[in-house]
Amino acid sequence: MKIIEIDHKRCTQSYACIRACPVKAITTRSKDGMPVVNHSRCIGCGSCLYVCAADAVSHISELEETVELLESDNKTAAIVDPTISGEFPDITDYRKFVEMIRKLGFDYVNEVSFGVDLVARKYHDLLTNFKGKYYLMANCPSLVSYVEKFAPELTDNLAPIVTPMTAAAKTVRKNYGKDLKVVFIGPCLSAKHEARAHEGDGYVDRVLTFKELRDLFNRFKIKESKVEYSDFDAPIGYHGSLYPISKGIVEASKVDDSLLDGKVITVEEKMNMMDAVDEFNDHTESLKKHFNIFYHSGCLMGPGTTDQSNKYLRRTMVVDYVHKRLRDFDKKQWEKDMAKHLEIDLGRGFERDDQRLPQPNNEQLEEILKSLGKRLEESAACNACGFRSCQDFAASISQGLSKPEMCLNYSIKNKQDYIKTLKNNNDKLKQQQESLIDKEKSLLEENQKLKQRTDTTSALLKNLPSAAVIVDDKLKVIESNESFIRVLGEDAEMINEVIPGLAGADLKTLLPYNLYNLFTYVLENDENIIGKDVQHDDRLLNVSIYSLKPNKIVGGVFRDMYVAEVRQEEIINRVSEVIDENLKMVQKIAFSLGEGASTTEKMLNSIIETYRKTGKD
């Protein structure tokens, strides 16, 4: 049966619930590390409920089902744990408390103390009529679940007697009918396991905690000041009212638990319970004692109570309550009631439900402990992880039930290492930051210089009389001047009005194939083209294309050969080239022609000079 649930929306993954669980019924989910409950391993102890700071862990409530039961046509009985005496100090008289429960809609209200008396008498017979077998008293459902799941070899040593809750359920059904619906109200969560373990007259239909009972009082606005006195329905319990105190069941059974001659050892609290089970298992014949074991400090401090403090104040209130009850107690009537109910079958059996996992060998344990910074031979343990020893914790890691991070020392060491790493990384980052600042200054200076160069280049490009254009490796125009736009014609001039300099325009849409292909050639081969004549429309263009950034950026210069200035300059350049070529030839034959070379040079220079004058005229 499911008892505990975890709200993953509220969970902060502190793993406090995993540390608190004595049997590691809460583990981490592999996909996201969220804690999840393995209900098959859960013993219903409730240790996980009060350790979660995010309040993400809760028990599965039967409150709404109880309300539905009360609103139905069924006859219902509330069987109330005597722990009420320590749980409700705010209610001045227990008889007011009984009437408040009746106002919720219960037809009968009985105290479990009479069930305790019936069970106590069975224990008296079992433990005083010793036949060589020692028993673990089976009143705490968490203990019973623990033995069945984690020490199943001891199930035969569990006393074969039902819990007081089950005995009380059998009692009210004997008195009020087999069809009666029974709701147990108490401090115990593991009672939910016990409630469904029996069929017939021992079955308990619903289990409410004291906290849920308070919620019902608030919901239906039931207050002590608005109700009259009302006592519990018969039969009334005797010493069974001491049951909330761990030794109460022993005193009610009149079994000797004195130090010298006692037959019973009483044990309470989580770690003590597990140690006691181990010792009973290992040294039964040496101990020669029966064990009365409770997971908590008796029922006084059960997980269904509203306050987990003031243990001794609660104990005192229980004792005071019993004194008050016994002041006018009708013992003869009690004896008649006990005799009347002797025929009730209070026997029970137990099921072995072994949930233990294979234990790792020493080599595996040693390897895990080494990773935690511990040694196999170490015996001391801080218990912060929730285990009795580091070896138990290591075994749980090996079984996949726990994570190394649950070890406080391991977490602190990792955190210190992490802080150290962060400090080193921070120092490195600081150095890198200073280096980046210096680089940024350098880049800013270079950027400023580059901007100046770019501005200068742009100004030079715009004032260049020849048409000029710069393109990227996709043949997209980076920049061009007015002369280039005029060479392209009216369409380009219209585009220039919208996009100055034709920036971003595709050169392939602006120039014919024979021209833009020259740009492609230079881009691919990183080889300049100088002074190539190309026919474009009705113009003869002299084209030079330069690689400005290898395979990335190229620039082109176009000169219209039909413009007079360009044509005259080109003729002069080409004649100069001819002179240079002839001079080379003359030098070769100078040895044979001698002074003739000088005369040829003068004549050619004269021709050039004459042409220049003619051009000016």
State pLDDT tens for residues 361-373: 778 777 877 777 7
pLDDT band for position 137 (50/70/90)?
Answer: very high
How do 206-209 and 264-268 pair as beta strands? unpaired
Closest C-alpha among 284, 25, 346, 40 to residue 154: 284
What average pLDDT does the segment 50-61 reach? 91
pLDDT at position 597 over 90 = no
Helices (H), 404-525: 408-463, 482-488, 490-498, 507-510, 513-525
CA distance 91 to 99: 12
How confident is the model at residue 583, as a pLDDT? 57
Between residues 509 and 599, the one the model is more confident about: 509
Q: Taken in order 528, 531, 532, 536, is the CA torsion positive or negative?
A: positive
How confident is the model at residue 614, as a pLDDT? 54
How confident is the model at residue 290, as a pLDDT? 96
pLDDT at position 326 over 60 = yes
What average pLDDT does the segment 491-515 reach? 84
As a three-state string, the secondary structure of 488-516 is HCHHHHHHHHHCHHHCCCEHHHHCCHHHH
Structural contact between residues 42 and 5, judged by C-beta atoms closer than 8 angstroms: no
How confident is the model at residue 615, as a pLDDT? 52
The pLDDT > 90 percentage for the chain reads: 48
Give the global pTM.
0.67
pLDDT band for position 250 (50/70/90)?
Answer: very high
Q: Is residue 458 exposed (0-12), middle (13-18) or buried (19+ Cβ within 10 Å)?
A: middle
pLDDT at position 464 over 60 = yes
How confident is the model at residue 295, as a pLDDT? 94
pLDDT at position 411 over 80 = no
What average pLDDT does the segment 17-37 reach? 89
pLDDT band for position 398 (50/70/90)?
Answer: confident
How confident is the model at residue 150, as a pLDDT? 95
How do 181-186 and 206-209 pair as beta strands? parallel
CA distance 88 to 321: 11
Q: At residue 104, what is the residue type?
A: L
pLDDT at position 92 over 90 = no
How confident is the model at residue 445, as a pLDDT? 82
pLDDT tens column, 197-213? 888 999 999 999 999 99
Instruction: Please report the beta strands in 23-149, taking only residues with DSSP state E, as ranges in sequence order.
Output: 26-28, 35-37, 57-59, 76-80, 108-111, 136-137
Closest C-alpha among 52, 47, 100 to residue 210: 100
Between residues 424 and 99, the one the model is more confident about: 99
pLDDT at position 187 over 70 = yes
Of the segments 269-278, 463-472, 599-608, which one has the largest average pLDDT value?
269-278
What average pLDDT does the segment 317-335 reach? 90
pLDDT at position 320 over 70 = yes
pLDDT at position 612 over 70 = no
Check residue 269 and report its DSSP letter. Answer: S
Structural contact between residues 240 and 164, judged by C-beta atoms closer than 8 angstroms: yes
What average pLDDT does the segment 270-286 reach? 94
For 308-312, the CB contacts below 8 A with 24+ separation are 308/50
HSE at residue 122, side-chain half, CA atoms within 13 A, is 25
CA distance 556 to 547: 9
CA distance 46 to 43: 8
pLDDT at position 441 over 90 = no
As given in the structure block, the two tokens for residue 355 are 């949930």
Closest C-alpha among 159, 184, 165 to residue 118: 165
Least confident residue range of 68-77, 144-153, 230-239, 462-471: 462-471
Least confident residue range of 142-151, 193-202, 404-413: 404-413
Whether the bond between 235 and the residue before it is cis, its omega within 30 degrees of 0, is yes
Average pLDDT, whole number, for the chain?
85
How confident is the model at residue 567, as a pLDDT? 56
Between residues 135 and 409, the one the model is more confident about: 135
* Torsions phi, psi for 536 (to 5 deg): -135, 115
pLDDT at position 596 over 90 = no
Full DSSP string of 222-246: --GGG----PPPSSPPSGGGGTTST
- CA distances (Å), 431 to each of 265, 422, 424, 444, 610, in order? 68, 14, 11, 20, 73
Q: Is residue 616 exposed (0-12), middle (13-18) or buried (19+ Cβ within 10 Å)?
A: exposed
CA distance 299 to 474: 84
pLDDT at position 593 over 50 = no
What average pLDDT does the segment 595-614 reach? 56
Of the segments 119-128, 300-309, 592-601, which one has the largest average pLDDT value?
119-128
CA distance 105 to 112: 19
pLDDT at position 168 over 80 = yes
pLDDT band for position 617 (50/70/90)?
Answer: very low
How confident is the model at residue 444, as a pLDDT? 84
